[in-house]
Amino acid sequence: MTLQNTPASPLVLGAMSFGTLVDDDVSFALLDRFVERGGVWIDTADCYSFWASDTGHGGASESVIGRWLGERPGVRTRVRLSTKVGAEPLWPGSWPEHRTGLSPRAIYQAVEGSLERLGVDMVDLLWLHQEDRAVPIEQTVDGLASLTSRGTVARVGASNHPAWRIERARAHAASIGSVPIDAFQLNSTYLRTRPGTLPPGVIHPFGVLSDEQRDFAVANGLETWAYTPLLSGAYDNPAKSIPEVYEHPGTERRLAVLGRIADAHGVERGQVVLAWLLAHGIRPILGGSKLDQLDLAMDAAGIALAAEEVADLDAPV
């Protein structure tokens, strides 16, 4: 891998399938290309991907990243690592009823395991993977504070949490002088589901970025990351259909606008989706397992949407 002084990309590389559905060779190639093209943030989790592993436990993704870092001296200074805690099953087949959760002890043990697998002494951003109402959020924040105070964790974020719990967590962090949650990670794309439905793969009731969560994030300066922004390729791959939950009258109009703007720029619809998210200050997380898919997504960061195009894409249906 040749490291060059490439401008930093705002996109995030999602490593969920590394070590399970994506082998080391392909994972290393994707990681190399991502960094070569200016990628900085790599996103994983301690539970990735327990549902596709032989053991029923996660950790494979972090282990692949750890091996990659070990074979790339100096690359750690070029990347930032984010991982998640709280959703690892306690034993194979026990998820979602029995998972590690977000008690201070569980967080500490999870982070110790993540550091060992990643082969690092700190993570740049630790996410609370999904809310745990069995544990008061104040206790969770106390557990995070013990890690940030030692420098083991630089920043903390929350995925799949309602805004009110994040507000409570931030208030408690302020009261004890600890690092507050400053990032949201939620499902977000251009199309919107029908009311009362969730996209495929999203089981968390607060897992899809809502207007309230977005307003809360903007008002309080929280960074927002979007997972599954490209509907697993359905915007452009004719072999994949747009999920049924997006079937409503508003979708037809949105796809028409999306197609018109994509044609005007000579790019794919999915690239416009990524450019639209970036125009709103949202970091898309890129999945996929092919270099050409990664390159197309990275190219999207260079698409400059005009203000009127963003307004047209934003227009209510």
Give the pLDDT band (50/70/90) at residue 283: very high
Print the domain residue range for 112: 12-314
56 token code pair: 């029923």
Residue 279: name the closest of 42, 38, 10 by CA: 10
In a domain, 292, yes or no: yes
In a domain, 94, yes or no: yes
In a domain, 2, yes or no: no
In a domain, 221, yes or no: yes
In a domain, 5, yes or no: no
| DSSP state letters, 89-121 | BSSTT-TTTSB--S-HHHHHHHHHHHHHHHT-S
* Structure confidence by residue, pLDDT tens digits, 191-204: 999 999 999 999 99
177-184 mean pLDDT: 98
Q: Which residue has the tokens 């125009």?
A: 279
Q: Which residue has the tokens 């500490």?
A: 108
In a domain, 3, yes or no: no
241 token code pair: 């259909």
Tell whether the model's pLDDT for residue 4 goes beyond 90: no
CATH code where residue 223 lies: 3.20.20.100
* Structure confidence by residue, pLDDT tens digits, 28-81: 999 999 999 999 999 999 999 999 999 999 999 999 999 999 999 999 999 999
CB burial string 242-277: b at 16+ within 10 A, e below: ebebbeeeebeebbebbeebbeebebbbbbbbbbbb
Q: Give me the torsion for CA of 164, 87, 17, 299, rounded to 10°.
A: 10
Question: What is the number of structural domains in the chain?
Answer: 1
In a domain, 263, yes or no: yes
pTM assigned to the model:
0.96
Tell whether the model's pLDDT for residue 1 goes beyond 80: no
Q: Which residue has the tokens 């962090």?
A: 173
In a domain, 213, yes or no: yes
Residue partners of 11: CB distance under 8 A and separation at least 6: 39, 41, 274, 278, 283, 284, 285, 286, 297, 298, 300, 301
> How far from chain centre, in Å, is Cα 196?
23
pLDDT at residue 7 in the model: 86
